Structure 1
């Protein structure tokens, strides 16, 4: 089961209940949350921050999670641009293995789609007629 994160409403409730001197057990029961979760927020509130500041810090820490985007070194990017200008497809560039590329074919196509490399420089294959 996935963890359901605290939202700003719940944090505000915890803050107001804390200032009303309600016990952690009672706050946890009212919000249907673990006591440890409530303790974490209350300990942060004791340091002098507000519920919204706590939420902003949480969001900042959460933004550091996840995988970083693959950025190719300049020599590999130049090699890819050169070979695409020669008429090679991304499949051919990776498949030939003449020069090591630090990504998969799927990632390379994604880079073309996200305009890291120019899509117009890819060789035209198949029909590209609009159906309008």
Structure 2
């Protein structure tokens, strides 16, 4: 049987309470009552705040943005932290299925077979051409997303510093159609407004030299099988898939205006990484984005 040696302070404590007429059971009960008052009190949200959380999650907001420490003129400070709000999702208070999706991993041993052409410009070239790449405005990441039965496609672009998303309709996924759509869109901006585009290794971008020469801009390609080298574009593609442009949709049935409306919904959401500004607000510091909305 284990036992505990009383230390000097504990003996003095017991003697003092005994002198005041307290019994050991009474002291223990008082200790239990005091202990219940210790620690952080559970946080609960009022019905109005719960409704606001559900509404914003439905619009695509993330918990860290909802619990932003920077309230706007029309909103009051959120009553709990981001971690507490995430905990509420874990505890089932809110539906965690509505949270942003997690990334997918390739199976072990997977070998990428695309993008083996030696003539493409790699990220090593980009680092030399643009030493301030990570901080300066005007660098795009690009890809395509395909619709139902691979019979339709859209070009997706994202500007790195503002995180503004651009989606362009194309007639087909053929390289000529991709080149024409990019040429038409880029022609609406001043020369050298965009400095570079980093694409994945899809064959649809095989006419990249024509685009680079027409608009005097640099085009680079991420390494094969490494979407992490275009993280913003990959993330925005997943967001678009979940918010209006799913894989089962035939993109031929929607107009560019409808695509713009879906994109605008994302570009008008505040982002923690932008200090809780919206991508459009950040892009506005550099250009007129009326064409994006």
Q: TM-score range by the shorter chain?
A: 0.5 to 0.7
Q: Would the aligned equivalents of 1:113 and 1:119 in 2 still touch at CA under 8 Å?
A: yes
The CA deviation at 1:62 is 1.1
Matched, 1:116 2:89: no
Q: Which runs of 4+ in 1 moved over 6 A?
A: none
In the alignment, what sits opposite 1:18?
Answer: none
Residue 79 of structure 1, CA deviation: 0.2
- In the alignment of these two chains, the number of paired residues is 100
Task: Specify whether residues 41 and 31 from structure 1 end up closer, same or farther in structure 2 by C-alpha distance, changes over 3 A only.
Answer: same
Larger Rg: 2
Deviations 1:50-90 (A, max 9, x none): x2343133112111112212222221111001111222211
Q: Structure 1: where are the runs of 5+ without partners?
A: 1-8, 11-29
Contact 1:84–1:123 (8 Å) recurs in 2: no
Q: Counterparts in 2 of 1:31-110, with a 5 A limit?
A: 31-34=6-9, 35-43=11-19, 46-47=21-22, 49=23, 51-95=24-68, 97=71, 99-100=75-76, 101-110=78-87
2:61 counterpart SS class? coil
Asked if structure 2 preserves the Cα contact closer than 8 Å seen for 1:80 and 1:93, the reply is yes
| Change over 3 Å in CA distance of 1:40–1:116 after alignment to 2 | farther
SS in 1 for 2:67: helix
RMSD: 3.1
Whole-angstrom distance in 2 between the partners of 1:38 and 1:54: 9
| TM-score normalized with structure 2 length | 0.29
TM-score of the aligned structures, taking structure 1 as reference length: 0.57
The alpha-carbon deviation at position 128 of structure 1 amounts to 8.3
More strand by proportion, 1 or 2? Answer: 2
1:127 deviates by 2.7
2:130 is aligned to: none
